[in-house]
Amino acid sequence: MEFSALPKTSCGSFHQELAIPLVASVASACNAQGRRFRGARSPVLESFQIFLTTVPLPAASSSEDSFLWRANDLDLSYFSAKNTWSELRPRAPKHQYVSSVWFKGAIPRYAFTMWVSQLDRLSTRARLVKWGLGISSLCCLCDCFEENCDHLFLRCEVSEQLWDLVLIRLGYSLFAFHTWDAFMCWLSLRDTTSSILLCRIVALATIYSLWIERNNMFFNSVSTTPQAIFKRIDRHV
């Protein structure tokens, strides 16, 4: 056992303050009378030495040393990389939107755009203005309202026309998504009109296509009709 893995204090490492060589073994740090430490020179070292008094001194034994791994409150007789990784990197609670964004059959670039949209991290004009860019915050597609994710993907006149075509193709009566939460709620519902897998694939393709259309308009001043966008989505799906 070495002391090189002990955490450092503001005055230096433990092995320096305890006057123990960096590569010292347990045997060289204690003898029959006890542990060979000099007096503590900081509260941290004092607490450390008090803790060591609760640990029995190593004793000579004919049996081999044994070890015990403990991870996620489980005592293991073997090393588990999975349990150790889970202990070092605890997972946050699973969000409800995950199954609607990352699912078997999703096209990666579509899912990524959908995920960034869900997190509201796309570089819409509203966000660019907040970052200090001297540009208009109006939507690139309709030039009427502030361009944020809710407007661009759900309430813009271009996106509304596109969603009408998409929903009719899926077999639904016309309806509109007024908020992003309502849109994500629809993606988690199961009904007899269309399979939930198909709805999710089409939704991701629609969001991706609208973002591509927005970028074409923003960078190249090139626009496409909702009907042409829908034909491209229909072909891709």
Q: CA–CA separation, 29 vs 22, rounded Å?
A: 11
The pairing of strands 12-13 and 74-76 is: unpaired
Query: Given this model, what pLDDT does residue 207 score?
Result: 97
Q: CA–CA separation, 80 vs 74, rounded Å?
A: 11
Query: Given this model, what pLDDT does residue 59 score?
Result: 67
Q: What's the CA angle centered on 227, arms 148 and 197, to 5 degrees?
A: 70
CB-based contacts of 173, cutoff 8 Å, min separation 6: 167
Low-confidence ranges of the chain (pLDDT < 70): 1-20, 26-27, 32, 36, 58-63, 65
Closest CA relative to residue 170, chosen from 100, 101, 234, 104 = 234
Query: Given this model, what pLDDT does residue 195 score?
Result: 94
Amino acid at 133: L
